[in-house]
Amino acid sequence: MTSKTKAKPKSKVARSRTPRSAAPSPSPVPTPPPDELPLAGTDRRHPSLGLGLWAQGRWGQEDERRTRATLGRAIELGIRWFDTAEVYGGGRSERILGDGLAHAGTLNPPAFVTTKVSWEHLRPGVLRAALFGSLQRLALPKVELYLVHAPNAHVPIGETMGELAQLAKEGRVGSVGVSNFDVDELEAARAALGSVPLVVNQVRYSLLTPDDGEAVLGYCRDHSIVVEAYSPLAMGLLAGRYLDSEGPSPELRRQDPNIFGPERLPSLLERARGLRKLAKDEGVPLPSIALHWLACRGVAPIFGASRPEQVEEILHAWGVRPSDEVLERADTLAGGRRA
């Protein structure tokens, strides 16, 4: 996952259904994510919902205090998958996560930490040093999952994957994955890893912006690669943001033209409003539709939050399973077709 501007298994996830009624208020202590996904070539399981920390540690003291509180609330409510990267906040995101996990003490189940090596650090010696820097900031002896943040055409994939395979064999990382890779790049990465499995590809993927995910989903299913979805709520559109009078800031428009560009935003807003009406009519939270649309594809969403109450809202939504009919209607609405 690049800093949210780079766009570059098969069974449905069964969860409890909620009766059709008015959408309930968030529970003070929402139910933690119930399901996990297999990790190829290992006896470990991949959590089905995670907290992405790409925005943490990038602001002033008050913002950092709030994000520490958000992380603490996520840990308290049972979130165990945390996704970060060395480029997020120049390493500050990893430090905040390391501090939060140290403060939490022994967790049961334990934390599942993912971090990423920058596309600028993919040559073997530099990559190894980057991993050690991340481990130091995280205060961990290893990470469960280490991803290549994005491919770099100037560095042969064999060099990068050869070093990652060696780090996995040394026990420095639990498993190896990638982010923002297309099918050809996935094929080359798998070949270069040899006996070490490629277990994850993390891509932008949401009900409103499905292109990157749909392009690799079939290949990943066929090769037991977990697809992780960043921006699963389309930068807030599928949580109801920007659908009325408030619009995205100029900074956000520049940061993510894939969603907030003037040629695309009006259509996405119209579709998101249609999805919001569907959610209201069916008595489910709008994020429930967005998250479970992904889950039914065997995809693991990574949500962002900047306040503790947002974690509670997302976990509440995760605990409400829309019907298959609702998800099919949502798919039609999001595709710009009439239901």
Which residues are designated catalytic?
Answer: 88
C-alpha 131, offset from chain centre: 20
Contact predicate 51/83, CB 8 Å: yes
Nearest-angstrom CA–CA distance, 275 and 286: 7
Measured at the CA of 130, the angle between CA 129 and CA 134, to 5 degrees, comes to 115
Q: CA torsion angle for 59, 60, 64, 67 (degrees, to 10)? A: -50
For residue 188, the SS3 value is: helix
Using CA of residue 115, residue 118, residue 222, residue 208, what is the dihedral sign? positive
Contact predicate 237/289, CB 8 Å: no
